[in-house]
Chain A
Amino acid sequence: MFELYFGEMARWNDGLILTAVMSTLSVVIGFFVALPIALARSKSKGIPGWLALGYVNVFRGVPLLVLMFLIYYGSGQFSRELRSIGLWWFFRDAYYCGLLALVLNTAAYQAEIIRGSLDTIATSVLETNAALNLTRWTSFRRVLLPIAFAKALPPLGNEYILMVKATSLLAIITVFDLMGQARMIFSETFDLRVYYIAAAHYLVLVLLIEWVLRRVEARIKWMA
């Protein structure tokens, strides 16, 4: 067991860093993508509302595995067209393709989480904002958004942890996260204990994330 870890330490570290970076980046970028979608879902009854609903339905409906495959190998089929419009540098890179798939997926889930918490804010808060003569934008940015964020933090943390595990799908498009490295070491040693080490890595990573989230939650609990 120890030789499987220490003998392959460089690979385990590569995998761990990749998993941590890809999941964190996708959750953070996904959050900013999700904000306007959540706002449109919550406040708009017109076309933006329908578009936002369409986005959420499509990207929650398509499995992440399929999405990744379509973006990576699908874009490869149109490499000539993508080159001519100057987008190939993005789609050529497996990391960008993987990140795009993760962001599109998590943004759909995060949008629903944020919409949910926006909808639970009492109308009295809106009335107070109006009484204070805040513009709609200021009211959203300075009051509604912080409250919604504080309320949404526990489910968002849940989404973060789910994304840590979702990165294991990246191995199908040649990006080797923890699980990809584990499978590679396994294919050379045929030793099933490799997966115990992978599981321990995930557990440590998730516990670390939980610990950080708990501290942040404790700080902003008063807002929710």
Chain B
Amino acid sequence: MKKILKISALTAAVTMASLASATAETLRVGTEGAYAPFNYVSENGAIEGFDVDIGNAICDVMKVECTWSVHDWGGIIPALNANKFDFMVASMAITPTRQKAVNFTDPYYFNAMRFVKLKEVDLDDAKPETLKGLTIGAQQGAVSAKVLDDWFPDSDIKLFPKLGEALMDLESGRIDLVLASQFAIGDWMKNGVDCCEFVGESFLMDGTVGAGIAFRKADTDLQARVNDALRTIIDNGTYEEIRKSYFDFDVMSKPDYVSELFNK
């Protein structure tokens, strides 16, 4: 009799516990953690950045608890699909190929790319003709790598696992230019780097419509909830506040496409 009582007490406790956790829903958010100022791991080990602030603002609107984790860029989509986390806020550009593997929200900003060059490399413009024979670095799996592949066949292209490594090689003079997000490069140059400068216009890869938050194909409910929350923070000014603390210019207007820039 005692035993039965014990067991039923235990079952009740377990049921209570699971009910309690159901009321405070926890979602796991994934990001790269190596893409300052959008997402990076700070000196004290915290995951911070524009993406993280936007993600947390969305979680606040949805009234859920969010926990963050960092993942390798090259395997971040498989990690999402393998259920390592529930959704991804990682400045990922929305492309048709990626849309075959995951679903995206509406874009939450336009991440235009731009060339940065060594000061001693003499260039006024960055076009396929002017960059002929030069060595250009980019991050493996990033949209800039695809643009280089499609539009700069006469340049020598080197791909790096992380953006920071490409920038390190630019600073040491192994490569002449890097093509990457202008924001990420700008952030790097702010930290006392005097080797390099921007060259040419900033642009977007054709077919990309800005950076989106990514979900597993099956999670359409969650996608809709997050999309609503994103719209809410844009409408109520939270988005604008976060944007101002990172960038002193608009990040929601669309730059030119590559083809518009180079097909002239």
Contacts and interface: CB of A to CB of B under 8 A. Distances in A.
Interface of A: 73, 75-77, 79, 92, 94, 171-172, 174, 176, 183-184, 186-190, 192
A176 B74 CA distance: 14
Given A174-B160, A176-B159, A183-B74, A188 B97 contact: yes
A92 B156 CA distance: 14
Contact of A190 (B100, B137, B158, B160): B100
Nearest to B165: A73
Nearest to B100: A190
Interface centre among A94, A171, A174 (most CB of B within 10 A): A174
Interface residues of B, number: 22
A164 B176 CA distance: 31
22 contacts: A73-B169, A76-B169, A76-B171, A76-B172, A92-B173, A94-B158, A94-B174, A171-B161, A172-B165, A174-B169, A176-B159, A183-B74, A183-B140, A184-B141, A184-B159, A186-B74, A187-B74, A188-B97, A188-B141, A188-B146, A190-B77, A190-B100
A129 to B, nearest CB: 51
Given A171-B161, A183-B140, A76 B174 contact: yes
B101 interface: yes
Nearest to A73: B168
Contacts of A73: 165, 168-169
Contact of B78 (A77, A92, A192): A192
Contacts of B165: 73, 172
A216 to B, nearest CB: 37
A92 B140 contact: no
A175 to B, nearest CB: 9
Interface in B168-189: 168-169, 171-174
B101 A184 contact: no
B173 A79 contact: yes
Contacts of A92: 173-174
Contacts of A184: 140-141, 159
Contacts of B169: 73, 76, 174
Nearest to B166: A174
Nearest to A175: B158
Contacts of A171: 161
A94 B137 CA distance: 13
Interface in B48-83: 74, 77-78
A76 B74 contact: no
Contacts of A188: 97, 141, 146
Contacts of A183: 74, 140
